[in-house]
Amino acid sequence: MTPTSVSYRRIYVWELPVRAFHWINAAAITVLGLTGFIIGHPFSVAYTQEASFQYWFGTVRFIHFLAGYIFLINMLMRIYWGFVGNAYSNWKEFIPTSRSWIGDIKEVLKVDILQTSVHGPVHVGHNRLAGLIYFGTFWMFLFQALTGFALYAPMSRLFVGKLATWIVPILGGDQNVRHLHHTMLWFYVAFAIVHVYLVFYHDYVEGRGTTSSMVGGWKFEREDYLDKH
Amino acid sequence: MSVSGDSLWITMREKGYSRREFMQFCSFAAATIGLGVQGKAEVAKAFEQKQRPPVVWLHFQECTCCSESFIRGSHPIVADILLDSISLDYTETLMAASGHQAEKSLADTIKKYAGKYILLVEGSVPTGADGVYCVIGGRSAAQILEEAAKDAAAIVAWGNCASYGCVQAAKPNPTGATPIQELVGKPVIQVPGCPPIADVMVGVITHILLFGRPPELDSRGRPKEFYSRRVHDTCYRRPYYDAGLFVESFDDDHARKGYCLYEMGCRGPVTYNACAVTRWNDHTSYPIQSGHPCIGCSEKGFWDDGPFYRHLPSFPGFPIEATADTIGAALGVGVAIGVGAHAITTNIRKRPVIQETQAESVSEPTDKKKVD
Ligand code: HEM
Ligand code: SF4
């Protein structure tokens, strides 16, 4: 194949608040997942001292709750940014609203799953399927925050926990809330694997700098494709 | 069966209790319902003057452990007076009358004291197969409840059966066991537990007798006094929990030392009850104190959240050994394998695309030299 001269344009896609949200969220979920796993699997660490001299399980829970607050506030910040940020971060980017949008989703599915060789312009922000998946993921975040804060309510005097307790009777009691909260851990594990893989994969086959875009904010797009947008 | 109308004090005197014993009971009652010592006089006055309302205690699909618990209240007068002689105008297990006589007594009380009597219900109501699973005197539990609930001044659901259906309502609930709250179109005071703590039952009853209205209830109909805190938050083993000192098997050294039972499946962190405060058997002990993890018997559907001796319940739709973690870990491995397979097929099937992209590359440094 002869080298074709293709020129690329640099586009500032992810503004700083979006990138900050992404990494704070990633860090918070990692911490929440690890500490949550320990809370759900208490194991013996130190048995040499009596209770007066150690508090490690309480500390693990404290870190979980602290990260929980960070997770929640960060998420609220991102929702706000979905209304004031640039076009790529707008909330409308996540909900399919046109027929061609659905067509784009089908296209991505074909390329990703059936591995067909169709190629051409891909939406510059989130690809259309990813956008929809992140929309679903947002509800999962919300669910995790609701169940988490509902469990947290009896041990907290702040109003935040009480805002979530309505979900307890709906889910059938604290035990079920805890079970669902715990089960959701595995959603995050599966999501993280697929998410990281797909970023690498798209970067690999499209060569638009998808991976680094979440660090610097820039994506690259062929100029001839940009015209078609 | 005594006639309603006298005050509690008069009935007690008739039974041979002294004034001192009556005052002791009043202190106890005041303390139980949270009035403190100052409330003693108020309680005594009320019990001297107020007519005690008639009480109907119905038994449906249950094991009578609520009644058993009740008669073991820490103050003997409670069992003796409230249950034995006081205005218990109808109760299947303890009344003297039987047969038509008993049925007539129930009908009479309901009619005569319409809008005044207190209805206590023990047990769930089976609604499957037109209610044939629980028939008393030729009528189904649902019919009896409907009649008795219609003109009741207050309705109390004793225990997990009446509140949530308990073991009869455990999946697959063959008899269609239904909590009474779902059958009567009125607010019900829920006093869950299998059984409820004796002193909690006494406290609820005393409150109604004394003030003529139910105690303050939470959004799920449970008296706040007794059900607003988790067992975990009042448990004396809590310091061991925070310190991460856990019993790992029954009879191990940690069990002997009285460490926290969290790893043994303790449901204290998800159970709202007064066990750790009120305790049982005249304030002697409660399950955790005797080395057994809480099974969450005052929570809705606790039978379906088993096995009891494991932190994570079994996952619905999977064999009993499977927890969210076994399934989650399998899912994680499956996803990792899928991703790996995808990476391999990508390199095979997407070759042309990748090569095309790579062909766009230009070798930059050499070009520079030439220009110079
Ligand atoms: C990605 C987010 C999160 C993950 C993966 C996660 C994971 C977990 C896991 C696995 C448990 C153990 C459940 C058990 O078996 O007992 C747990 C417990 C808990 N989590 Fe989270 N969690 C997350 C977010 C939150 C948030 C936002 C809060 C809000 C404060 C929260 C509050 C709690 C509480 C209160 C418990 C119970 C702790 C206890 O029993 O003392 N979690 N979490
Ligand atoms: S024994 Fe149960 S209720 Fe008590 S601290 Fe441990 S987990 Fe909580």
Greater pLDDT, B237 or B30:
B237
ipTM surpassing 0.95: no
**Mean pLDDT of the region B188-198:** 93
Question: Which of B220, B301, B324 is the closest to A183 by Cβ?
Answer: B324
How remote is the C-alpha of B99 from its chain's centroid? 33
List all residues whose CB is within 6 A of at least one atom of ligand 2: B 231-232, 235, 237-238, 241, 260-262, 266, 268-269, 288, 294
Q: List the domains of chain B with CATH numbers.
A: 51-227 (3.40.50.700), 231-371 (4.10.480.10)
Establish whether the linkage from the previous residue to B195 is cis, with ω within 30° of 0.
yes
User: Looking at beta carbons, which residues of chain B come within 8 Å of A194?
Assistant: 335, 339
Question: Cβ distance B90 to B99 under 8 Å?
Answer: no
Q: Name which of A35, A55, A147, A179 to mutate to probe chain B: the one with the most chain B Cβ atoms within 10 A of its Cβ.
A: A179
Ligand 2 atom with least separation from CA of B260: 6
Is A162 domain-assigned?
Answer: yes
Question: Which of B233, B270, B343 is the closest to A174 by Cβ?
Answer: B270
Burial class (CB in 10 A: 0-12, 13-18, 19+), A80: exposed
pLDDT mean across residues, chain B: 84
| Confidence at residue B8, expressed as pLDDT on a 0 to 100 scale | 79
Is A164 domain-assigned?
Answer: yes
Q: If you write DSSP's letter for every residue of A154-173 in order, what string do you get?
A: GG--SHHHHTTTTHHHHHTS
Residue with CA nearest ligand 1 atom 12: A40
Query: The tokens of A67 are what?
Result: 């990260």
Question: Cβ distance B50 to B113 under 8 Å?
Answer: no
Is the confidence at residue B202, as pLDDT, over 90? no
Ligand 2 atom with least separation from CA of B236: 4
Contact B352 A117 (CB under 8 A): yes
Is A26 domain-assigned?
Answer: no
Ligand 2 atom with least separation from CA of B235: 4
Q: How far is the CA of B242 from the centre of ligand 2 (A)?
A: 10
Phi, psi of B220 (to 5 degrees): -105, 20
| Confidence at residue A49, expressed as pLDDT on a 0 to 100 scale | 76
**Mean pLDDT of the region B347-368:** 73
Q: How far is the CA of B252 from the centre of ligand 1 (A)?
A: 29
List all residues whose CB is within 6 A of at least one atom of ligand 1: A 29, 32-33, 36-37, 39-40, 61, 64-65, 68, 71-72, 144-145, 148-149, 151-152, 178, 181-182, 185, 188; B 269
**Mean pLDDT of the region B241-253:** 89
Ligand 1 atom with least separation from CA of B312: 15
For B13, other C-beta atoms within 10 Å of its C-beta total: 14
Separation in Å, CA of A117 to nearest CA in chain B: 6
Q: If you write DSSP's letter for every residue of B47-95 in order, what string do you get?
A: HHHSBPPPEEEEE-BS-SHHHHHHTT-SSHHIIIIIIIISSEEEETTT-
Query: The tokens of A35 are what?
Result: 């500490």
| Confidence at residue A150, expressed as pLDDT on a 0 to 100 scale | 95
**Residue of A32, A165, A182, A188 best suited for mutating to test ligand 1, as the one with most atoms within 8 Å of CB:** A32
Q: How far is the CA of A203 from the centre of ligand 2 (A)?
A: 50
Is A93 domain-assigned?
Answer: yes
| Confidence at residue B81, expressed as pLDDT on a 0 to 100 scale | 64
Q: Name which of A57, A195, A221 to mutate to probe chain B: the one with the most chain B Cβ atoms within 10 A of its Cβ.
A: A57
Question: Which of A53, A186, A201 is the closest to B346 by Cβ?
Answer: A201
Band (A129; pLDDT cuts 50, 70, 90): confident
- pLDDT tens digit sequence for B303-331: 998 889 989 888 888 888 888 889 999 99
Ligand 1 atom with least separation from CA of A65: 30
For B226, other C-beta atoms within 10 Å of its C-beta total: 28
- pLDDT tens digit sequence for A161-198: 889 989 998 998 899 999 999 999 999 999 999 999 99
What percentage of chain A exceeds 90 in pLDDT? 51
Q: Which ligand is nearest to the CA of A141?
A: 1
User: Looking at beta carbons, which residues of chain A come within 8 Å of B229?
Assistant: 154
Instruction: Report the number of distinct structural domains present in chain A.
Output: 1
Nearest to A54 by CA among B240, B243, B236, B254: B243
| Confidence at residue A227, expressed as pLDDT on a 0 to 100 scale | 62
Nearest to B141 by CA among B184, B109, B174, B111: B184
DSSP tag of A98: S
What range does the domain containing A194 cover?
Answer: 13-18+86-226
CA distances from A113 to A116, A198, B28, B188 (A): 8, 11, 72, 55
In a 3-state reduction of DSSP, which class is residue B248? coil
Is A156 domain-assigned?
Answer: yes
Question: Cβ distance A97 to A103 under 8 Å?
Answer: no
Q: Which ligand is nearest to the CA of B261?
A: 2
Is A158 domain-assigned?
Answer: yes
- pLDDT tens digit sequence for B154-183: 899 999 999 999 999 998 999 999 999 999
Chain B residue with CA closest to A204: the answer is B354
Greater pLDDT, A228 or A160:
A160
Is A43 domain-assigned?
Answer: no
Question: Which of B349, B350, B360 is the closest to A3 by Cβ?
Answer: B360
Q: CA dihedral in degrees (A195, A196, A197, A199; nearest 10)?
A: 90
Q: Which ligand is nearest to the CA of B328?
A: 1
Q: If you write DSSP's letter for every residue of A24-76 in order, what string do you get?
A: HHHHHHHHHHHHHHHHHS------SS-GGG--HHHHHHHHHHHHHHHHHHHHH
**Residue of B230, B232, B272 best suited for mutating to test ligand 2, as the one with most atoms within 8 Å of CB:** B232
Instruction: Name residue, tokens 């991505």.
Output: A108
Ligand 1 atom with least separation from CA of A41: 15
Chain A residue with CA closest to B329: the answer is A186
CA distances from A1 to A5, A207, B181, B353, B359 (A): 12, 17, 77, 11, 7
Q: Which ligand is nearest to the CA of A34?
A: 1
In a 3-state reduction of DSSP, which class is residue B154? strand
For B111, other C-beta atoms within 10 Å of its C-beta total: 9
Residue with CA nearest ligand 1 atom 28: A148
| Confidence at residue B318, expressed as pLDDT on a 0 to 100 scale | 84
Burial class (CB in 10 A: 0-12, 13-18, 19+), B364: exposed
Contact A42 B269 (CB under 8 A): no
Query: The tokens of B33 are what?
Result: 């319902």
- pLDDT tens digit sequence for A51-86: 788 888 999 999 999 999 999 999 999 999 999 988
**C-alpha angle B67-B71-B72 in degrees, rounded to nearest 5:** 120
Is A40 domain-assigned?
Answer: no
**Mean pLDDT of the region A123-149:** 90
Is the confidence at residue A4, as pLDDT, over 80? no
Q: How far is the CA of B200 from the centre of ligand 2 (A)?
A: 21
Is the confidence at residue B82, as pLDDT, over 70? no
